[in-house]
Structure formats: structure tokens, C-alpha cells
Amino acid sequence: MKAEQAVDAFLDHLWLTERLAANTLAAYRRDLNKIAARLHTRNKDWLTADGTDLAYALFDFPEKATSQARALSCLRRFYGYLGQQSLLPHDPTLHLKAPRAGRSLPLVINEAQVTALLAAPDIATAHGLRDSALLEVMYATGLRVSEAVALTLGEIDLQRGVLHTVGKGDKERLVPLGEVAVERLQQYLATARTQLLKGTRSDDVFVSQKRGRISRQLAWMIVKRHAATVGIAHLTPHGLRHAFATHLVNHGADLRVVQMLLGHADIGTTQIYTHIAAERLKNLVRQHHPRG
């Protein structure tokens, strides 16, 4: 296998064995292409680079520590694959260490802001009712935006108040919807969705005036537009997912339950929400305690 073919083979391997999302594979490709270009300036490629060359390509550029750590993680997996294919006798990433970086906590909107956001769409219109149903479902379930836009009619059970989704790594899970989200979905499905489809058949839950599934980009625009209407800056669909998890933890939800609802493979990923809750409590003490 030639050096320039190695990245394609590696990404194909990940897709076949782990079913990684297209966005994740694209991010891996960007990181590897960036490193390859930097190695090229030293007349090196994947098969001839040593640890010093890779350290230069990873760390000798003005980038965030988190970006460098992510690229190193990708590189280690890549060289692990090359080793499995017997293309290299040793792993040049073995002694590379990621830069230390403080753990940044995501910005989370509070419950009053969520209430304002969910009330923002004009449910007297078809588009407004669809937007309202989408926002209610995303906050009620903590779905990733890709999971929300991919929902089909067969994956929601309004009578039981649950939905079925397939997340990262093809992991399936059932998530409760909650009464308000169920009610808004019933309204949307009974009227607005039919108006938007204009007689076209579709299994998708959230549809656009183009008579097909809404895109991830449109879902982002819906969240950002209604957030701006109520004065919430820089909110993304993932921000709603953070709010869902943090508000559950704030109200005493068990971390394992939150992990299951979010579809996290590792409890460590979910533990960030306990840090967010702790920061909120410290801020409350500072604001209201006489010796805060």
C-alpha cells in the first residue's frame, strides 16, 4: 500500500468496523490531510516520518490545545491501523504526549431561557408549528441534531410517549418524550406536516416546504433564529442537548440514566454535566450567600 492510499484505507476500515458518522470521518480526514501536508514540507510521509517529524506537524503551529489533542488521538489510531496491516515495524506516535489543557465547560442556557425559546415559534403557521415541535422534541430528549432530523414516523410512539433513535456507532436507544413534546408533535403531525408535504408521501417526521426531510443546516437555522428572537446568543442544537442533560442533573437525575438517554458510550463523557451543575451551585452561593 502506498503512503497516499493509507488514509483512504484507514477511513474505510473505520466505517466498516465501527460505522462512524460521516462527520467524524470527515474530521479525521481533515486532521490527517493537515498533518500530511506539514510532513511534506520536511520531505516525509506516513511511512518515513519519525516521532520528531510528527511532533513538528502536530505542535509547532498556533492551534488550540484541544485541536492538537484531537489530532494526536486520530494519528494514534491511524498508526495503530498501519501497524495492524504490517506496514510499519514500530509506532512513531508512542512517545508523543498531548498538551495539557484546562477542561472547558459548555455554555448552558437556563430553564427560563429554554421556556422563552420554546414559546418563540408562531404555532399559528405551518412552519412555526414544525419549528415548535422540533424544539420541544430536541429539548425533551437531548437528541443530536443528526438524530432529530433523521426521525421517521415509525420511530415515534405517541401513545407510549417514546421515540426510537440510532446514534453514533449504530447504538439504538429508546427515549421518553414527555407530555408537552407529545402534545406538540400530535398538533404538528395532524396539520402542519400535511400542509408542508402538499400531498407528497414521506416517512420523515420533520419536513420542509421542499417536501422532504429537513437538513441539519436547516435545523441549526431554526434553533439560532428563534434563539435570537428571545435574545439568546450563540445557541446551537448541541446547546439544547447540553441544556437537556444539565437540567436533568440539576434536578437530581442519576448520571447513569443521563448517560443512557444521551447515548454516551463512556460515563466519563456524561460526567461533564456534574461539573456544570457544580459551577451553577457555586455561582448561586457567590451571588446569594453573605460570605459568598
- Give the residue numbers annotated as catalytic, written as ranges: 144, 168, 238, 241, 264, 273
Per 3-state DSSP, the chain is made up of helix, strand and coil in percentages (nearest 5) of 60, 5, 35
CB 70 within 8 A of CB 61: no
Q: Which three cell numbers stand for residue 197?
A: 408535504
Q: What angle do CA 136, 246, 143 make, to 5 degrees?
A: 40
CB atoms within 10 A of CB 137: 26
Q: Where are the beta strands (DSSP E) in 167-234?
A: 172-176
**Cα 30 to Cα 36: distance, rounded to the nearest angstrom:** 10
Q: Is 88 left (phi over 0), alpha (psi -120 to 50) or beta?
A: beta
In sequence order, what DSSP letters do the residues of 97-150 get, joined into one string? Answer: -PPP-PPPPPP---HHHHHHHHT-S-TTSHHHHHHHHHHHHHHHH---HHHHHT
